[in-house]
Each structure stands twice: as C-alpha cells, then as structure tokens.
C-alpha cells in the first residue's frame, strides 16, 4: 500500500497540469472576489454588510471545477497515456488503486479549497483595507462558508476520480463534467429550482452557503452532494474491477 501511495504521489507531482490547475484556482478566487466587490460598489452596498461579505466569499468555491478536472486527469489519464496496464499489473487489486487515487485527490481537493480560501481572504483584506474597513473575522458566516468550500472541494476531487474511472476517456470526461456543472445545472436550476437544487453542483453551492434563493439547506446540500459522489464511486468501482482495461 505504501508503495502504491508513493507511486501515485510521484505521478501527481510530476504532472505539470496539476500545478497549473492550482495556479488557476488562485487566480479565479482573486478575480471572483474583486468582481464581487466591484458589483457591490456599483449597487452601493456596504462592503461590510452580510450581502457583500457572502458575495465575496462566493469566490472560495471558484476552484471546485478545477478540482474535478484534476481528479479526472488523475484517473482517466492512466488510460489516455497507456499507463493503465502497468498500473493495474503492478497492483492487480484494482479497487485498491481506485481507493488510493480517491484518497489522494480528496486531499488534493481540500488543498485546492484551502488555497482558494487564502486567496479570497487575502483579496478581501486588501480591498477592505484600501476602503478603510476591516475584514469581519468574527462573523460565523465567514468560517462556515470557508469550511463548506474546503469540504466541497475535497468531495469534488473524489467525484473527479469517479467520473474519470467511469468514462476512461479524459477529454470526454472533462468536457462532459464542465458542461454539466457550468451549462446544464444552471439552466435546470433557473428553469426549476425545486428540481435543480438536487443536482450535485447546486448541492455543493448549498454546502458553501451561497446566498441564492431556492437552494437546499447547508446540511441537506452536503448530504445530497455526498450521495451523488457515493453513487458515482460505486459505478466507478464496478467498472474498474469487472470490465477489461482496454
């Protein structure tokens, strides 16, 4: 097991795309935070109001989609670059390989969430300081949102592994996941929030306490998001252990 974990960590560190995704997460968090404050200024909303604070903290979840991409690359990349045979021959217990990748990319997702949180808080502090205000560290909503964002990013990392294992086609999996999260879910939610709020991306929004009408409660959102991920992982394990590698 230690050998397998070490091997997967080496693969992760040696993949330049992962570092670019982490950098992209930071840039997205900073840009989204600035955008939220520019919008608050345009609407003449107090920068220390709950609405402005929650709007800025919405940026914490900006890296979640990139975490999904990382998980997909980590799993489907084995098949794209012809490494799957070597990986599964060196460790014939395929469920163990999937389990190690799941653990590694769940931790990586949490790292992405922490990086996004630090980028968001640093940008909030700089913006508010320039306006003569201070960052409201004492408000529970700040830490609840950050905690939810880190947790959702961790789960998104696991979900990416599951999607990659089910699809095995890295490009199709990435395009499909991004299309689902960025295009399909928002359309469904706008058409019917009572239906859309049960989808994984919208459930993750609820877990992050995004101030949007129609979402589930924080607890319900977390439970629904977890259920989607467990379902995807169940299919992924079945496909990984029972189907041929080619």
Tell me the mean pLDDT in the region 89-105. 75
pLDDT value of residue 137: 81
What pTM value is reported for the model? 0.85
Residue 127 lies in a domain: no
pLDDT value of residue 232: 92
Residue 117 lies in a domain: no
Quick: pLDDT tens for 47-82.
888 778 878 888 887 767 889 999 998 888 776 655
Residue 34 lies in a domain: no
Residue 132 lies in a domain: no
How far from 126 is each of 5, 22, 122, 177, 185, CA to CA, in Å? Answer: 39, 21, 6, 34, 33
Quick: pLDDT tens for 178-233.
999 989 999 999 999 999 999 999 999 888 887 778 899 999 999 999 999 999 99
Q: What is the domain range of residue 154? A: 2-26+61-112+137-242
Burial class from Cβ neighbours inside 10 Å (0-12, 13-18, 19+) for residue 122 reads middle
Residue 55 lies in a domain: no
Burial class from Cβ neighbours inside 10 Å (0-12, 13-18, 19+) for residue 160 reads buried
Count Cβ neighbours within 10 Å for each residue of 4-30 and write b for 16 or more, e otherwise: beeebeebbeeeeebeebbebbbebbb
Residue 37 lies in a domain: no
Estimate to the nearest angstrom the gap between the alpha carbon of 176 and the chain centroid.
15
Residue 225 lies in a domain: yes
Total number of domains constituting the chain: 1
Residue 46 lies in a domain: no
């Amino acid at each position: 097991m230690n050998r397998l974990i070490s091997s997967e960590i080496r693969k992760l560190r040696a993949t330049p795309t992962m570092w670019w995704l982490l950098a992209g997460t930071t840039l997205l968090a900073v840009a989204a935070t600035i955008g939220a404050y520019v919008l608050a200024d345009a609407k003449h909303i107090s920068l220390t109001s709950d609405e402005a604070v929650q709007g800025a903290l919405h940026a914490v979840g900006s890296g979640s989609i990139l975490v999904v991409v990382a998980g997909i690359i980590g799993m489907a990349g084995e098949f794209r670059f012809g490494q799957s045979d070597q990986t599964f021959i060196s460790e014939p217990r395929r469920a163990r390989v999937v389990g190690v990748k799941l653990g590694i990319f769940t931790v990586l997702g949490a790292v992405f969430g922490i990086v996004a949180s630090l980028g968001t808080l640093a940008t909030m502090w700089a913006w508010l300081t320039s306006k003569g205000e201070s960052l409201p560290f004492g408000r529970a909503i700040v830490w609840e949102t950050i905690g939810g964002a880190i947790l959702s990013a961790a789960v998104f990392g696991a979900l990416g592994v599951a999607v990659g294992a089910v699809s095995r086609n890295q490009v199709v999996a990435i395009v499909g996941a991004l299309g689902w999260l960025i295009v399909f879910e928002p359309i469904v939610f706008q058409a019917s929030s009572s239906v859309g709020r049960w989808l994984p991306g919208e459930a993750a929004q609820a877990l992050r306490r995004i101030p949007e009408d129609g979402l589930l409660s924080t607890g319900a959102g977390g439970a629904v998001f977890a259920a989607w991920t467990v379902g995807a992982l169940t299919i992924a394990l079945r496909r990984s252990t029972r189907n041929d590698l080619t």
